[in-house]
Amino acid sequence: MGGAGMEFFPAEWLSLELGAKFRYLTHLLTNFREGRDIVGSGAGQLDLPKSITEVYAGLTFYLGGKRECPPLTCEASGDPMSGAPSLAVRFNGSASGGCPGYTYSWDFGDGGSSSDQSPSHTYQKAGNYTAELKVTDSKGNDCEKDISSIMVGCPQLICTASANPTSGEAPLTIQFNASASGGCPPYTYNWEIGEGGSSSEQNPSHLIEKEGNYTARLTVTDSKGNSCQKNVSYETSAEFIPTPEKPVVLHGVKFEFDKSRLTVKADSLLDLVATSLKRRPDVKVEVVGHCDWIGSEAYNQKLSLLRAEAVRDYLIRNGVKAENLTFTGYGETKPMADNKTAEGRALNRRVELHRIQ
C-alpha cells in the first residue's frame, strides 16, 4: 500500500486535504502458496480486486482557536555607515519566523522611505541619521529594527607642511611640500612665504634672497570650506666671511659642559661656515675661543684654546684648507657681556672668526 496527499489552510480555522492511496495484492507476507491464487472465487481464494486506487478529499475545522505563528524576527544593516554628503548607503533587510510572506517598510530618517527588502538610499545633507525597518508577516505580526549612527559629513581635515632645506646661506632656494587628508576633497592650497611671497601650488619652491628667520604658513581648504593650517620655520644667513673690521661671532657653536667637545647642534652651523670658507679660498681666518670667568684664569685660558682648536679641526675635516686656518684662545680676558649674570656668561662663552688676510 502506498499514497500521497497535501493539506491546505485557506483560513486559520480550516484545512483542506487532498490525496490518493494505491493498494496491490501479492503473495508476499501471506499464507497463499502452492499455486493458489490470492484473487478468485474458488475455495481458499479472496474475492478481491488485485489492485485498488482510492482518491480522497476532506475538510477539517479547527474549533479550538487560531493556528499560532512562530515568533517573527528581523535584521537590518547598512553599508557604508559614514561619508561625505551624497552618501549612498546600501540597506539590507531579512526576516524569519512569523507567517510568511513578509512586507518591508524602510524609513531612512531624512524623509525618504522604501518598500524594497534591500534598497539603496542617498543622503544629501550632513547630519547623523537613524534608519528604521519594519517587517510585517501575512498575519499582521510585525518586527522593527533600527540602524543608528549613520554619519553624513566630512571627517576631520588634516594637513602637513615641510621645507627643505630649513637653513642655509642667502640667497637660498627652498622647496615647500604640503599634504592633506580627510575633509571633503578636492583641496586648495595657499602658502604665505617669507619676504612677502605666496603661492597656490601644493608644492612650490621659493628663492629667499635676504638673511633672516622666516615662517611659512600653509592653509588647506576643502570643497566644503573646512580649513587646516600648518607653519614651517626656516632661516637664511649671510656668508660666514669676516672682514678685517668685523669678526663673525658663532654664538650657535656650543660645547659640552666644561669640555671642548662640540654638540650636535654646533655641527649644522659649522657646516655652513665650512661651505662659506670653501667658496672663498683667498680668505684666511683665525678661530678665536673665549670663556666666562667661572674657574681659574689659567684653566679658562686652556679651555678656550682647546675649543678654538676643535672648531679649526672640524672645518678642516669638512674641506677648508688647513693653511687658511689658525686658532688661539683668550680665556676670560675679553668678555662681551657682564659675567655676573647667566645671560652674560652665556654670551662670553663664544667662538669668533677673525680675518687675517
Average pLDDT, integer, range 234-250: 85
pLDDT-based confidence at residue 171 (cuts at 50, 70, 90): confident
Residue that the C-alpha cell 652651523 belongs to: 269
Q: Which residues contact 22 (CB under 8 A, 6 or more apart)?
A: 1, 2, 3, 51, 52, 53, 54
Over the stretch 263-314, which tens digit does the pLDDT of each residue have? 888 888 898 899 889 989 999 999 999 999 999 999 999 999 999 999 999 9
Instruction: State the cell numbers at 318.
Output: 669638512
Q: Is the pLDDT at 46 greater than 80, yes or no?
A: no
Say how far apart CA 318 and CA 274 lie, in whole Å: 6
pLDDT at 28 over 70: no
Please choose, from the candidates 44, 62, 50, the residue with its C-alpha nearest in 3D space to the C-alpha of residue 23. 50
Q: Which residues of 82-92 are buried (b: 16+ CB within 10 A; e: fewer)?
A: ebbeebebebe
pLDDT of residue 34: 47
State how far the Cα of 350 lies from the Cα of 290, in Å rounded to an integer: 5
What are the tens digits of pLDDT across the range 177-210? 999 998 888 999 999 997 778 999 999 999 887 7
Query: 38 pLDDT exceeds 50?
Result: yes
Residue 213 in this model has a pLDDT that exceeds 80: yes
Task: Examine the pLDDT at 94 and tell me if it is beyond 90.
Answer: yes
The three-class DSSP label of residue 310 is helix
What are the structural domains, with CATH classification, of the chain?
2-61 (no CATH), 73-152 (2.60.40.10), 158-237 (2.60.40.10), 248-355 (3.30.1330.60)
- Specify whether the CB–CB gap between 38 and 59 falls below 8 A: no
Q: What is the mean pLDDT of residues 202-231?
A: 90
List CB contacts of 276: < 8 A, sequence separation 6 or more: 169, 239, 240, 241
Task: Work out the percent of the chain whose per-residue pLDDT is above 90.
Answer: 54
Report the pLDDT value the prediction gives residue 24, as an integer from 0 to 100: 67
Strand partners, 234: 214
Mean pLDDT for the stretch of residues 100-113: 95
pTM equals 0.41
**Which stretches does DSSP call E strand in 101-243?**
103-107, 113-114, 120-123, 127-136, 142-152, 158-164, 167-169, 172-181, 188-193, 197-199, 205-208, 212-221, 227-237
Report the pLDDT value the prediction gives residue 116, as an integer from 0 to 100: 97
Left, alpha or beta for 299 (phi > 0: left; psi -120 to 50: alpha)? alpha
Residue 209 has what pLDDT?
75
On the question of pLDDT at 31 being above 90, the answer is no
For residue 35, the model assigns a pLDDT of: 47
Which cell numbers hold the place of 130?
537613524
Which of 33-47, 120-134, 252-266 has the weakest average pLDDT? 33-47
**Cell 628667520 found at:** 213
The Cβ-side half-sphere exposure at 288, using a 13 Å CA radius, reads 19
